[in-house]
Structure 1
Amino acid sequence: MKQLPIMQVLPDLKKILSASTAAVLIAEPGAGKTTGTPPAFLDEPWMAGKTILMLEPRRLAARSAALYMAACLGEQVGQTVGYRMRMDSKVSRHTRITVVTEGVLTRMLQSDPSLGDVGLVIFDEFHERSLHADLGLALALEAQSVLREDLRILIMSATLDAERVSALLGGAAIVDCPGRTFPVETIYAPAGNDAVLEQSAAAAVRRALAEQPGDVLVFLPGEREIRRTQRELAGGSLPAGTVLRPLFGQLPQAQQDAAVAAALPGERKVVLATSIAETSLTIEGVRTVIDTGLRRTQVFSPRTGMPRLTTVPVSKASADQRRGRAGRTAPGVCYRLWSREEHARLPEDNVPEMLETDLAQLALELALWGVPGPAALPWLDPPPAAPYAQGAALLRQLGALDAGGAITPHGRSMAALGAHPRAAHMLLRAAALDEAPLACRLAALLQERDLFKGPADQGSDITLRVEALLAFERSGASGSADPAALRAVQRESRGLLAQLKVAPETMPGDLSRIGLLLSFAYPDRVGQKRGDGAFLLSGGRGAAMREGQPLARSAYIAAAGVDDRAGQGRILLAAELAEADLLLHHADSLTEERAVFWDKESGSVKAHRRTMFGALVLKETTHERPDAEEIEEVLLSVIAEEGLDMLPWDKGTAQLRQRMAFMHTVRKDWPDVSDEALLNTLGDWLRPYLQGMRNLRDLQRLQLSRALEGMLDWNSRQTLDREAPTHITVPSGSRVPLDYSNPGAPVLAVRLQEMFGQVDTPRIGMGQVPVLLHLLSPARRPMQVTADLGSFWRSTYFEVKKDLKGRYPKHYWPDDPLQAVATSRTRPGNK
């Protein structure tokens, strides 16, 4: 311990935490911060005999750190130093340093917000920025602010934006500690686009064993790739004395210890590890690192509605952490199985889980904590508003939150399980039905990768996956399923069974209830058959499955996996759901809806009563008679949707509307009868005339002119007749109709001879608007268009006269039109 670089800065760190309640420690790899820091504070006066909690993101690192610190004290783990993680705990009443994993810290804070017996909370490797780490820090800061002013908080990392973290901690001091590392040469050795991962990794191992001294650490995405690479290496020629050591989180502890321990004399060790070896672990003897550049991480999957494991490229920061593993005890080499160009395109750092995951679980934890939302707590990166609102809405649907957003007793039970809310709700409902053994296996299947290579290989029916898992549990046979995936699902399901106090060997009974259990987890994804493999989901979305699958014939399904495409999605995983189960076990979620609607096929208003589950219509009756007000509302909405053309616009009604539109151009206080205005005010001017109507035929009998006139009082009607007349009497004595189809310029189409003697253009609209004269020939063909009759007589008439006299020699074409007698005949006096 004395040789660790961390020892150089511990005195300063002690002074800071004796005078303040927070600090940030940036310690380079090899500094010894994880195992050297916690013991140093046990005897500080402000500790007053209290305990230390250290959050370690990874289970293996947590266990290793506890074991190492205990060994340094000459004790067994569980005495002064212990650890607590899901389904594994080594603590006693003597334990003063407890290394915990993320979910455990959240549960401890929720059960005792004051952390009464804790003096210091350490967040190690905080740069990994998991959701639970961010949540744990937010809750700890809240506890410190409200309940425990004396609680100390220490943030530790090798790579971190220290200034931002310091600001979150109220300006906490930052301590830098150099590491104990040796130079590492980086060799870029791209494997090629078509290369198989395990083959590339095995080839790189053989090269490293031939070119470099010491042991080799290989970073692979997960257990499946580790097992395949191990088989690839075991099947080929390796130097004598080479031993292969897998290292991943679910590996038995003895095998983990063997991977971390120094190789025996005469042996060279090749450690095939996941990202758990990236930080907080020193693997003895490693001089070479081979990095495949991939990592397995949990991200929110819209397909399943829950976090799901996926493989993504590492960030530059992670790649540097991995590279540093080769220089912990001596100079080393790092082979990167990608090119320099590819390295330049890697993201600088991992995206905080808070910004890319489902936030339903976070919303549940905050409700359990008793705050109205994220704004009540301090965050390094606040939860995004939209995903958080989506998560809270799901919790209300699952019965975890009430309408006001407060946690319910059922929500408290869900939170106690620690599983995703969808899975937790399913497990609790299943336990009440004695179906916990089946539900635990389903929950595990949903949170791990698919047992089969792809949904297309084995169809969408999740029942096939359950059957494969049960066969594996009975006989160990994997069939066409992935053995590594089967083992992971089995471990997860056994852990869930233990939480529900069910014996791990208890086998499920009736597999036909899989669809019912899935419907508890996915009430928004109950599907109703539309035909040809298409389904309407209860959340309102359409989805379909590949043709030819037996499941496509089901009347109802519960979909656990739907792809992320917009529009009609593709169903990847589902199970058949019996209608009787839906009606019985979701009775509290069924709604009765009485609706009055327009039936396009019959062109009439009808009423029906529906039993609804979300967007699904489970039962429907259409024999009810709607009342008059309901009918009127539907008719108005149909007209608003279909448009005014549904109404009987005869010639007279159309002209009335045009005249009213003209008056609106003259005086803005007149009613606006444009399409937009009439549609926006349908209820005001049309409703009184819809009484007794219920179908399209009735609408055609509508006295539309009366409805329009109803918009005018008696004085306005008189003004309309006077200032927007239907006809104008011209000098010949004829009553000529006005055309108001263009309200801004009404047209009077009249034969030129009938206007002789008229000096000025007729005007309407309180004398403000001259009519637009279309002067016609005796054959009623347009000869001239003018709004200035006087000017026409003085000039243009004489040119027009020549043409007319030639075409119509029998007609009367006077030299002085203003003194001539107007006539509607060939000549004045003719009969």
Structure 2
Amino acid sequence: MRLPIEDVISDVITAIAQHGQLVLQAPPGAGKTTRVPLALLQGGVFEGKLIMLEPRRLAARAAAERMADTLGEPVGEQVGYRMRGEAKAGPNTRIEVVTEGILTRMIQTDPSLEGVGALVFDEFHERSLNADLGLALAHESRSALRPDLKLVVMSATLDAEPVAKMLGAPIITSQGRAFDVEERWLDAPLKKDKKLELACADLIVQAVTEQPEGGVLVFLPGQGEITRVARALEGQLDKSCAVHKLYGAMDFKAQRAAIMPAKTGRKIVLATSIAETSLTIEDVRTVVDAGRSRRARFDPASGMSRLVTERVTRAEATQRAGRAGRVAEGVAYKLWTKGEHGALAAFPPAEIEAADLAGLALELAAWGSSPEDMAFLTPPPQGALAEAQALLTSLGALKSGRITDHGRALLRLPVHPRLAHMVARAGKGAAPIAALLSGRDILMNGFNGAGADLTLRIRALSDPKGSNAHAVNQSALATARLEAKRLARLAGPDQGLSAAQMAALAYPDRIGLRRAGQAHRFVLSGGKGAVVSDSDPIGTQLLIVVTDTDGNPRDAKTRQAIAISENELRAIMPEQFVWHTVCEWSRRESRVMAREQLRLGACVLEDRAWKNADVAQMNRAMCDGIRMIGLNLPAAAKRFQARVILARENSDRAFPDLSDSALLDTLEDWLAPYLGSVRTSADWKAFDPLEALRNCLNWEQTQALDQLVPSHFTTPLGDRRPIDYSQADPEIEVRLQELFGVTKHPTVGGKPLKVTVLSPARKPLQTTMDIPGFWAGSYADVRKDMRARYPKHPWPEDPTQAEPTLRAKPRKR
């Protein structure tokens, strides 16, 4: 069968010969994966080996087998493959298909890639983290060391322009696909109460009924959905239909059975996104797309990743639909409407935008470059990268941003840096733990049935028949055992640590201390929270190490954990047990609390009163308390504050900002030295901060303040009355008899004072800003009312001619 890619093969050869690099865009089913490497080999445009990067193990194996079959050879002759734990290649191999981690190690070990003439990045549209890193490393190697190295980036749905611009490479586009695919949509959106699995099962039955020939490939987000759809299909399909499952955790034999042609009847393949790639599943003519994809999302704030289920993007939907047109004209059924399709995002996010970047940060440190110096199509987010670098520093892999000898040792171990650190420190004994923690749960019921205890998994790994209480996932078990053996060969001598100690080495930030009085709830040493199922016995332990969670940034649900003792922790990380002195405001008790605490990160193991607490720390804690309970200045202090604010607003002189907000922001500067024994909200209520406020002004400012905004008004009798500046107009209160003889209204700072005139009993009679006007006007009415009530006090007809007085008339004898 002639493939659509054949139409541009000559252009590919020419472009590589002239430019040395190329971006090739071809739709699903065009044949680029198996045809382009062979064409480059046969065209003689490179010397040495061609290394082709495939993002998935199954696709890498299948691509190598297809190319070898085209040459009429077994795999391992001119075409071979290499992946973690498995390789088929020989001295005559010219095309080697590798998975992503392999390529990175090759470039890091030999930046000049001696013996390699060409690199092909297949399925680059998936934008995996390792593919982005591999391309960045390859581009730098080509620029600095190997200008003769050929680079080809191939993609089905990627917008090719940005990649081509970054590399300075031409673009070649293959327009055709093998066969046409008809797309069919729902007439109306799914009802909210309809479960995705049941709706998908109904659509599968419809597709099988309407399309009488060929296999059906169904795209679902994960293994759980695959299992539930398979269960929902029971009894709904003709007996001639065989249902197969296809996901990454399956063993290769089961995967191969899913992709091989059906011997009899029809084949229904329920698959994850593993089937989106360059994999051809035989006989498939119909695709059913549930429209969901599962992605990992890393939260730098919690240091945890979680899997989220999201709608597919238009690019993913196109890629999936193309699977129906590989061997004949096909049909793609979509579990959403055509109108909903337009609202889908164009492309999936690059993994580098949402992944744990610990491995990337370590690779970059080993390479000796910062991300901004590398050719990344999408730069790594600064927050996630900083979090990764902080983790690596805590593990001893980085020091001052540079890789250490320990960090280089971690790179030689093909697991996450956390687990590599554990294996490097604990030796061979850690290999089984690392294998368990890097793979799928080997207990079928997971944490819902078996419980979260990691020791159950360790026991099942060594003796699966002894784990009668819980079914063992044989595929995951076999994978874990192979991985454990491989890691043991790379590890040093066993250091005799317990399983819990090993887990703590990998997750020093996830050591959990049970919260006081709260069984099954833990505070983690990294500062976050974790919860354990109420029915799980491990939730009653005092200390645990949490090795797997759902990634919730606040209280993560614990999927796996192991109990540990304080003595075990002290033996491996004694330097992490540190006594801290704590002075802080207790909102609950409305007082400063001074404690001495033995901490392991955020876990407080011992807590006792700090008897000789540092005064400065106590005062700072009291300042925090004042911010919570409020400034609430007493009257005298409030008047002083108002005077300074008025002077600051109405004078060219420099006065400090004594507004409430400014005072609260600077409590440690102006108030803390004067707090003395103030330690409670009651103490603060009784405290007079006037002296502290006065000392905010220097001598010159104080003199200027008294001149511009005096604190008191002096009455004609020489008595001082405080001026209230807290309102819009400065105000005083004076008994009427004290104002006799006043013919000019008093002012302050050029502004008239608001005068509240009081009766002899100090009751307000009238408020005025014009005393002469008051005498001439309403005084007569006041005199009439008051002289009968207060006959012993003078009430002259003309107050402007009377002497001010506070005395009553003498008694008649």
Query: Which range, TM-score by smaller chain?
Result: 0.7 to 0.9
- Taking the aligned partners of 1:752 and 1:467, their CA distance within structure 2 comes to 96
- Taking the aligned partners of 1:756 and 1:541, their CA distance within structure 2 comes to 73
User: What are the equivalent positions in structure 2 for 1:620-659 lying under 5 Å apart?
Assistant: 625=612, 630-632=614-616, 634-639=618-623, 641-642=625-626
What is the CA-CA distance between 1:324 and the residue it aligns to? 3.0
- Taking the aligned partners of 2:778 and 2:657, their CA distance within structure 1 comes to 38
What is the CA-CA distance between 1:82 and the residue it aligns to? 0.9
The amino acid across from 2:356 in the alignment is D
Alignment of 1:500 onto 2:502: no
User: What are the equivalent positions in structure 2 for 1:693-704 lying under 5 Å apart?
Assistant: none
**1:709-735 superposed Cα distances (whole Å, 9 cap, x missing partner):** 65666777777777777765544x362
Instruction: Give the corresponding residue for 1:526.
Output: 511
Alignment of 1:735 onto 2:733: no
Instruction: Give the corresponding residue for 1:7.
Output: 6
8 Å contact from structure 1 (residues 62, 83) kept in 2? yes
1:578 to 556, 565, 568: 565
Greater displacement, 84-93 / 191-200:
191-200
8 Å contact from structure 1 (residues 206, 238) kept in 2? no
- Taking the aligned partners of 1:544 and 1:574, their CA distance within structure 2 comes to 11
- Taking the aligned partners of 2:301 and 2:687, their CA distance within structure 1 comes to 53
State the secondary structure of the residue aligned to 2:489: coil
**1:13-56 superposed Cα distances (whole Å, 9 cap, x missing partner):** 11111111211222233432212111222255652x32111112
Instruction: Give the corresponding residue for 1:754.
Output: 738
What is the CA-CA distance between 1:99 and the residue it aligns to? 0.8
- Taking the aligned partners of 1:367 and 1:603, their CA distance within structure 2 comes to 49
| Number of aligned residues | 806
Instruction: Give the corresponding residue for 2:430.
Output: 436
**1:300-353 superposed Cα distances (whole Å, 9 cap, x missing partner):** 489995666666554443343333333333333444456656656654443322
Greater displacement, 299-308 / 317-326:
299-308
What is the CA-CA distance between 1:443 and the residue it aligns to? 1.0
State the secondary structure of the residue aligned to 2:760: coil
8 Å contact from structure 1 (residues 162, 174) kept in 2? no
Q: Cα gap change, 1:238/1:303 in structure 2, threshold over 3 Å: closer, same or farther?
A: farther
8 Å contact from structure 2 (residues 182, 331) kept in 1? yes
8 Å contact from structure 1 (residues 648, 699) kept in 2? no
2:760 to 778, 784, 809: 778
- Taking the aligned partners of 1:262 and 1:282, their CA distance within structure 2 comes to 11
- Taking the aligned partners of 1:548 and 1:269, their CA distance within structure 2 comes to 41
Greater displacement, 650-659 / 781-790:
650-659
Instruction: Give the corresponding residue for 1:40.
Output: 39
What is the CA-CA distance between 1:153 and the residue it aligns to? 0.9
User: What are the equivalent positions in structure 2 for 1:299-310 lying under 5 Å apart?
Assistant: 299-300=297-298
State the secondary structure of the residue aligned to 1:113: coil
Instruction: Give the corresponding residue for 2:129.
Output: 131
State the secondary structure of the residue aligned to 1:518: helix
- Taking the aligned partners of 1:164 and 1:666, their CA distance within structure 2 comes to 60
What is the CA-CA distance between 1:576 and the residue it aligns to? 1.6
Q: Cα gap change, 1:636/1:369 in structure 2, threshold over 3 Å: closer, same or farther?
A: closer
**1:219-242 superposed Cα distances (whole Å, 9 cap, x missing partner):** 4555666677778889888456x6
Instruction: Give the corresponding residue for 1:463.
Output: 455
Q: Cα gap change, 1:700/1:50 in structure 2, threshold over 3 Å: closer, same or farther?
A: same
Alignment of 1:391 onto 2:391: no
State the secondary structure of the residue aligned to 2:12: helix
User: What are the equivalent positions in structure 2 for 1:176-575 lying under 5 Å apart?
Assistant: 176-182=174-180, 184=182, 186=184, 197=197, 201=201, 204=204, 208=208, 212-219=212-219, 238=238, 247-249=246-248, 259-262=258-261, 269=267, 271=269, 273-294=271-292, 298-300=296-298, 313-336=311-334, 346-372=344-370, 374-402=371-399, 404-431=400-427, 435-444=429-438, 447-448=439-440, 451=443, 453=445, 455-468=447-460, 470-471=462-463, 473-474=464-465, 479-481=469-471, 485-501=473-489, 513-529=498-514, 530-533=516-519, 534-547=521-534, 549-565=536-552, 567-575=554-562
**1:520-576 superposed Cα distances (whole Å, 9 cap, x missing partner):** 222222122222223222122344434464333322122234455565554443222
Greater displacement, 298-307 / 132-141:
298-307
User: What are the equivalent positions in structure 2 for 1:77-156 lying under 5 Å apart?
Assistant: 77-156=75-154
8 Å contact from structure 1 (residues 24, 172) kept in 2? yes
What is the CA-CA distance between 1:368 and the residue it aligns to? 2.0
1:814 to 796, 799, 813: 796
Taking only aligned residues, the RMSD between alpha carbons, in angstroms, comes to 4.5
- Taking the aligned partners of 2:218 and 2:442, their CA distance within structure 1 comes to 25
8 Å contact from structure 1 (residues 304, 561) kept in 2? no
The amino acid across from 1:411 in the alignment is G
8 Å contact from structure 2 (residues 592, 679) kept in 1? yes
8 Å contact from structure 2 (residues 512, 544) kept in 1? yes
**1:652-684 superposed Cα distances (whole Å, 9 cap, x missing partner):** 777777766776666544566555555566566
- Taking the aligned partners of 1:262 and 1:606, their CA distance within structure 2 comes to 73
What is the CA-CA distance between 1:594 and the residue it aligns to? 4.7
State the secondary structure of the residue aligned to 2:174: strand
Q: Cα gap change, 1:631/1:605 in structure 2, threshold over 3 Å: closer, same or farther?
A: farther
Q: Cα gap change, 1:825/1:209 in structure 2, threshold over 3 Å: closer, same or farther?
A: closer
Q: Cα gap change, 1:329/1:796 in structure 2, threshold over 3 Å: closer, same or farther?
A: same
8 Å contact from structure 2 (residues 304, 551) kept in 1? no
**1:389-419 superposed Cα distances (whole Å, 9 cap, x missing partner):** 22222222222222x2112222222222232
The amino acid across from 2:507 in the alignment is Y
8 Å contact from structure 2 (residues 442, 474) kept in 1? no
8 Å contact from structure 2 (residues 648, 656) kept in 1? yes
Q: Cα gap change, 1:112/1:198 in structure 2, threshold over 3 Å: closer, same or farther?
A: farther
State the secondary structure of the residue aligned to 1:761: coil
- Taking the aligned partners of 1:28 and 1:554, their CA distance within structure 2 comes to 55
The amino acid across from 2:25 in the alignment is I
- Taking the aligned partners of 1:518 and 1:356, their CA distance within structure 2 comes to 25
- Taking the aligned partners of 1:225 and 1:194, their CA distance within structure 2 comes to 14
**1:178-232 superposed Cα distances (whole Å, 9 cap, x missing partner):** 2322454747699986568499659946973785134444445556666777788
The amino acid across from 2:763 in the alignment is R
- Taking the aligned partners of 1:651 and 1:191, their CA distance within structure 2 comes to 67
What is the CA-CA distance between 1:592 and the residue it aligns to? 4.5
8 Å contact from structure 2 (residues 197, 232) kept in 1? no
Give the gaps of 5 or more residues in structure 1.
Answer: none
Q: Cα gap change, 1:644/1:772 in structure 2, threshold over 3 Å: closer, same or farther?
A: farther
TM-score (norm 1): 0.83
What is the CA-CA distance between 1:262 and the residue it aligns to? 4.7
Instruction: Give the corresponding residue for 1:66.
Output: 64
- Taking the aligned partners of 2:688 and 2:14, their CA distance within structure 1 comes to 92
Identity, in percent, stands at: 40
**1:669-715 superposed Cα distances (whole Å, 9 cap, x missing partner):** 45665555555665665676678x69679999999666566566677
Q: Cα gap change, 1:243/1:349 in structure 2, threshold over 3 Å: closer, same or farther?
A: same
- Taking the aligned partners of 1:644 and 1:6, their CA distance within structure 2 comes to 70
8 Å contact from structure 1 (residues 640, 679) kept in 2? no
The amino acid across from 1:99 in the alignment is V
Instruction: Give the corresponding residue for 2:776.
Output: 794
The amino acid across from 1:102 in the alignment is E
**1:591-614 superposed Cα distances (whole Å, 9 cap, x missing partner):** 454556679999998976544321
- Taking the aligned partners of 1:188 and 1:719, their CA distance within structure 2 comes to 81
8 Å contact from structure 1 (residues 302, 564) kept in 2? no
What is the CA-CA distance between 1:107 and the residue it aligns to? 1.4
What is the CA-CA distance between 1:778 and the residue it aligns to? 3.3
State the secondary structure of the residue aligned to 2:483: helix
